[in-house]
Structure 1
């Protein structure tokens, strides 16, 4: 599937001058709702309003949000602290309103103090032609090799992150071409340090793994809230839609905005389209840890309906949601905006994916070493010398816990970014 459009988000078109009282140009959530926020106030008050009003329409779990009058952000956050502390506090409170009935806790239960598990707010705005490209792309291919074990050839590849596809496609193609030369039936994909990145890149890797017989089969879908799916998100008219060169796009005789994007399930369902020459894979083994998140988990989920998939290592982070950036004044806000579902409709890994073989690895494993704990366990499963019922190990060493900065949006390794949103036809 070809995706010709890329998204870059620019500054919210509210007229804000200085820090004194000023007049707001946009005041209501939608045409059917009453005027919900004041038309005058300070710059900080308008930002508080905007964070809530955007969440009211764009947030994945917006059904849990009260009315503006009930939430009353201007009064609720008086005297909290600095502007950015106040805005992050507001976002945190919004993120805790939707409860996962399976756990009895918020879907965005914080990993560390008062920071949502998924949503984020950062100082700094996206400029035309940059947006998510300013993120540190990281390295995709950390190691790859063929491992001979008895009469079996096992493909192994360690993927450190999912940078923009344009920056890593050549390295991925080369690595998978080498692996394809031995026609391996099993592949071990090491994602223990991979916190995600661009969905487009994860999707491309999936297409390198699968056989051509899966062409046209559903890989995954991005599911937005019902208002987004129905195009009832007028607030996004304040977010311009720009092309890959950072230029405005004409839509129905005017400049396109993010309100013109197709957020339907059908318009955001991605299907397999085979890449490369690897056609022989029948089983997939993932080495994972608490640092395996977002687009990495999407890759695992997308392959589950079609392969014998096994996980080795430690429980994954648990992030089946993604977002695009929204700029409000001088801040970039990343609201959890869509849910990732695989071909079976599965998305319930908010608390992480449990390994089939539980192993605590060492901090700095030798990638591709057949004697390394996790890879050795995978090879043993492939050879049939290890059974899942007797596979839980307690070993020395550990895989480092997720650090606070893993959740920061300015690190591409912690996010699931969608940069291929398309305009409605």
Structure 2
């Protein structure tokens, strides 16, 4: 008889078996899935075929229900994934080519080009597919660099300026105490100005970017909208039935019971109300009014979200180069042995603004130095930012988004005008 040690308990193996069986069901049942569109009873894919053909079908059928821009996708009989990619060089290239084609249907009317157009051929800007199954329903952006690269207080003439360079947003538990420390230390000097250096910050965990926003914001912003996530109408209306084949897992990768059964991604609340996040002040810093952000083409995802959610409430200026442009997020779906990340929701700030698909343009353009000494007042970007704060450099005036210029006990009033300049892991929540 086999015995099991603590790492391989019988219950653990049974749990893995249950998850595996659900995944197999997701793979095999997609061929029978019916679309949740104007003709819900239409059978959209064959019930027989090869493993590769079923996977091609599944990628398309999932896109038809969960892709952010699913409204422009053709029906199955028009797209014909099996025939379209029959001559691909390899299985994975067939799937990636399919994903690319799906991502190019929706055109940005402002540019005349697809929202997911990329600098790389046959690669969507946001959506992607990879070999290997994702073990949870959330995925963060890439975290390559150290989180806190530099911080200091700078005194320029009569101004007190806090400078903080953040290289990434790792898991909050790994960085929370250090973030608390540097922001509380900055609060002692009551700086009015904050310089956030995000030039090398490609994103990471949204939870951490949200925490930084709460460290910056004053208490008077409590319960004000920080940002929201807008899914397509199919998801919002609970009609993405294909997600019944994807188990819902908690933050530890464990299955969850829901109404007496195992929860699936079809049980998630995809409404905008259910995915709106509000300010909840952290730390003791209460004095920031003007925010200057050093940015580059590497500034992306959760970094852009942080900038976006601050813009309605502060006088925010960007210095450097245009950001990457990623106002969308996704969650993983597992199809056979692949994880697929389809752009699935739009990230909007308190003014419902999300139009930075082509990046956020800087208010003051600076060519990025190759090896900057972060925090050095003579470093080109920081030097230009300090000159901007001191009024030695003038830029085109714009309508301020700040509600913090006149501080009082009255409730803040949002400016109605839109600033023209202008992950991510997703934290899916069950409907209750």
**Does TM, normalized by the shorter one, top 0.5?**
yes
2:218 is matched with: 211
1:191 and 1:177 map into 2 onto residues whose CA distance is 20
1:124 and 1:136 map into 2 onto residues whose CA distance is 19
Distance 1:76-1:211 versus aligned 2 partners, 3 A rule: same
Distance 1:12-1:102 versus aligned 2 partners, 3 A rule: farther
1:123 and 1:58 map into 2 onto residues whose CA distance is 20
Select the residue among 28, 31, 48 that pairs with 1:40: 48
**Structure 1 residue 29: Cα displacement:** 3.4
Q: Which runs of 5+ in 2 are unaligned?
A: 1-18, 398-422
**Structure 1 residue 324: Cα displacement:** 1.1
1:52 is matched with: 60
2:293 and 2:259 map into 1 onto residues whose CA distance is 46
1:402 is matched with: none
Q: Contact 1:215/1:273 (CA < 8 Å) preserved in 2?
A: yes
Structure with the greater alpha carbon radius of gyration:
2
1:15 is matched with: 24
SS of the equivalent of 1:417 reads coil
Pairing 1:107-118 to 2, within 5 Å after superposition: 107-118=115-126
1:124 is the counterpart of 2:132: yes
1:74 is the counterpart of 2:82: yes
Deviations 1:374-422 (A, max 9, x none): 11111111111211159xxxxxxxxxxxxxxxxxxxxxxxxx2234211
Which range moves more in the overlay, 55-64 or 34-43? 34-43
**Structure 1 residue 335: Cα displacement:** 0.5
1:250 and 1:60 map into 2 onto residues whose CA distance is 28
1:388 is the counterpart of 2:395: yes
Deviations 1:225-272 (A, max 9, x none): 001111111111111112233222111111100100000000000010
Q: Contact 2:165/2:198 (CA < 8 Å) preserved in 1?
A: yes
SS of the equivalent of 2:32 reads coil
Distance 1:354-1:231 versus aligned 2 partners, 3 A rule: same
TM-score (norm 1): 0.87
TM-score (norm 2): 0.85
1:382 and 1:353 map into 2 onto residues whose CA distance is 20
Deviations 1:102-133 (A, max 9, x none): 110000011211110110111111236x9648
1:277 is the counterpart of 2:281: no
2:33 is matched with: 28
1:293 is matched with: 300
SS of the equivalent of 1:15 reads helix
Select the residue among 351, 363, 374 that pairs with 1:367: 374
1:179 is matched with: 186
2:71 and 2:220 map into 1 onto residues whose CA distance is 40
**Structure 1 residue 23: Cα displacement:** 6.1
Q: Contact 2:186/2:285 (CA < 8 Å) preserved in 1?
A: yes
2:29 and 2:107 map into 1 onto residues whose CA distance is 33
Deviations 1:165-199 (A, max 9, x none): 12221121112112112110000001111111111
Distance 1:353-1:25 versus aligned 2 partners, 3 A rule: closer
Q: Contact 2:326/2:359 (CA < 8 Å) preserved in 1?
A: yes
Select the residue among 83, 94, 104 that pairs with 1:96: 104
1:393 is matched with: none
Which range moves more in the overlay, 133-142 or 46-55? 133-142
Which range moves more in the overlay, 352-361 or 25-34? 25-34
2:257 and 2:60 map into 1 onto residues whose CA distance is 29
SS of the equivalent of 1:302 reads helix
Q: Give aligned pairs, total.
A: 385
Distance 1:268-1:99 versus aligned 2 partners, 3 A rule: same
Give me the CA root mean square deviation: 2.0
1:78 and 1:210 map into 2 onto residues whose CA distance is 54
SS of the equivalent of 2:291 reads strand
Which range moves more in the overlay, 143-152 or 47-56? 143-152
Pairing 1:287-366 to 2, within 5 Å after superposition: 287-366=294-373
Q: Contact 2:223/2:280 (CA < 8 Å) preserved in 1?
A: yes
2:160 is matched with: 153
Q: Which runs of 5+ in 1 are unaligned?
A: 1-9, 17-21, 391-415
**Structure 1 residue 26: Cα displacement:** 4.8
SS of the equivalent of 1:200 reads helix
Pairing 1:194-233 to 2, within 5 Å after superposition: 194-233=201-240
Distance 1:13-1:45 versus aligned 2 partners, 3 A rule: farther
**Structure 1 residue 314: Cα displacement:** 0.4
Please identify runs of 4+ aligned residues in structure 1 that moved more than 3 A. 10-16, 22-26, 130-138
Q: Which has the bigger relative contact order, CA under 8 A and spacing at least 6?
A: 1
1:136 and 1:308 map into 2 onto residues whose CA distance is 28
**Structure 1 residue 164: Cα displacement:** 1.5
Q: Contact 2:324/2:358 (CA < 8 Å) preserved in 1?
A: yes
